[in-house]
Structures are given as C-alpha cells and as structure tokens.
C-alpha cells in the first residue's frame, strides 16, 4: 500500500482521536492553556530519537551488529516519525508542502 505523506498524517490523526489509555486520549487539541501537551509530545519525540541513537552507539562500539539490529533501528526511527507527525497534526503543518518548499530553499542555498 502506497500512501502520500498527507494520507499518513490523516491516518495517524484518526488513530489518535479514536484511541485512549486510562481515559486519556492520544489526541488533545493544543493551545495556550495546555501547552504542556506539546511539551509531552516533544519529550516523546526526543526519547524515541534517543533510543535510535543509543542503539546506533552500541552498534558503532561493537556491542551489537547492524545486521541483527536493523529491524530495531527501523522501528525506533518510525516511532520518531510518528511523534513528528503527531506534532505536525496539532499545528496543521502540511509536511509535503513544507518539505518541497524547504527542499527548494536548500537547492538554492547549496546549489544542488
């Protein structure tokens, strides 16, 4: 199944709005009165990236092998991606449009 980034974001938002644990929804509209919800998502995003980084560190120093840990690396990177999507969904960031705009700026800036 091939999905656009916009479709992926929509699927994540739908899942978040339909899912809760112990009465706490996976999706809460963020505004100035509950900015701590954004902080929570950022901590989760950085935490997942930290898990990816820690596993990479262990591979680099030889404690683990890339071949055996590739699947775990993939999963940690996807977890990071999910939290990025969750934050983008909160602020209606069009990641596709934003990516293309930033890519164009980088191409101009770096002469690619």
pLDDT in tens, 70-79: 999 999 999 9
> How far is it, in rounded angstroms, from Cα 49 to Cα 55?
10
pLDDT in tens, 81-109: 999 999 999 999 999 999 999 999 999 99
Nearest to 83 by CA among 35, 47, 55, 31: 47
pLDDT in tens, 4-61: 999 999 999 999 999 999 999 999 999 999 999 999 999 999 999 999 999 999 999 9
Left (φ > 0), alpha (ψ -120 to 50) or beta: where does 14 sit? alpha
User: pLDDT at position 104, please?
Assistant: 96
DSSP class of residue 21? E
């Amino acid at each position: 199944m091939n999905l656009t980034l916009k479709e992926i974001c929509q699927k994540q938002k739908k899942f978040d709005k339909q899912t809760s644990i112990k009465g706490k929804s996976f999706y809460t509209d963020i505004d100035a009165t509950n900015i701590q919800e954004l902080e929570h998502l950022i901590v989760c995003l950085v935490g997942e990236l930290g898990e990816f980084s820690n596993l990479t560190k262990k591979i680099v120093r030889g404690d683990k092998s890339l071949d055996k840990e590739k699947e775990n690396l993939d999963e940690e990177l996807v977890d990071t991606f999910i939290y990025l999507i969750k934050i983008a969904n909160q602020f209606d960031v069009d990641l596709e449009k934003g990516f293309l705009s930033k890519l164009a700026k980088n191409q101009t800036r770096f002469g690619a």
